[in-house]
Homo-oligomer: A and B are copies of this chain.
């Protein structure tokens, strides 16, 4: 990857940020991630700036709106979760990698309660999020599924996006339900995938 190349803009476009600007953008995103996780997405921007060690001006130059910051953090977390699919695939047998990633994904969805409210707020900053979500997660899961199919550990013909939605719904709805109810439901679904596999 060329992400460490200071000449290379993170988003590919013609921007070229000063080194301190890049550092601060990163610090803000990381601080926002932590603060949102601790206090919810309604946490004040000031607190994020404080935690990032950055002034309000700096923060708002990069993220013109509160919603832009929320959306950026969300995209970052989607990227991180999707990227783990490859890491897990490299470190585990196909079926184990699949199960681990589904749990990871479920955990990701389960902690994003405030986000569903944001998505329905009508703020244009969130308009592209559903597509982003789908574009990143579908190939990630598709890769895991194909590998497991090729190893004859699960059956073929499962649509990745269907599975994402199913487990997503499971994970959102589950607030109560006792010890790892969602985990057991995931196991159940995976067993369903295994049924009819060749090996």
A121: B residues at CB distance < 8 A? 117
| Smallest beta-carbon distance A6→chain B, Å | 41
Q: Are B117 and A113 in contact (CB under 8 A)?
A: no
Determine the residue in chain B with the shortest Cβ distance to A113: B122
A122: B residues at CB distance < 8 A? 113-114, 117
How far, in angstroms, from A120 to B114 measured CA to CA in the complex? 8
Determine the residue in chain B with the shortest Cβ distance to A116: B120
A114: B residues at CB distance < 8 A? 122
In chain A, positions 42-95 with a C-beta closer than 8 Å to chain B are none
A116: B residues at CB distance < 8 A? 120
How far, in angstroms, from A120 to B172 measured CA to CA in the complex? 12
Determine the residue in chain B with the shortest Cβ distance to A114: B122
Determine the residue in chain B with the shortest Cβ distance to A119: B120
Chain A 112-137, CB within 8 Å of chain B: the 1/0 string?
01101100111000000000000000
A117: B residues at CB distance < 8 A? 117, 120-122
How far, in angstroms, from A113 to B119 measured CA to CA in the complex? 12
Determine the residue in chain B with the shortest Cβ distance to A115: B120
| Smallest beta-carbon distance A71→chain B, Å | 16
How far, in angstroms, from A122 to B120 measured CA to CA in the complex? 13
| Smallest beta-carbon distance A42→chain B, Å | 9
Q: List 8 A-B contacts (CB under 8 A).
A: A113-B122, A114-B122, A116-B120, A117-B117, A117-B120, A117-B121, A117-B122, A120-B120
Contacts A116-B120, A117-B122 given; 6 further ones with Cβ under 8 A? A113-B122, A114-B122, A117-B117, A117-B120, A117-B121, A120-B120
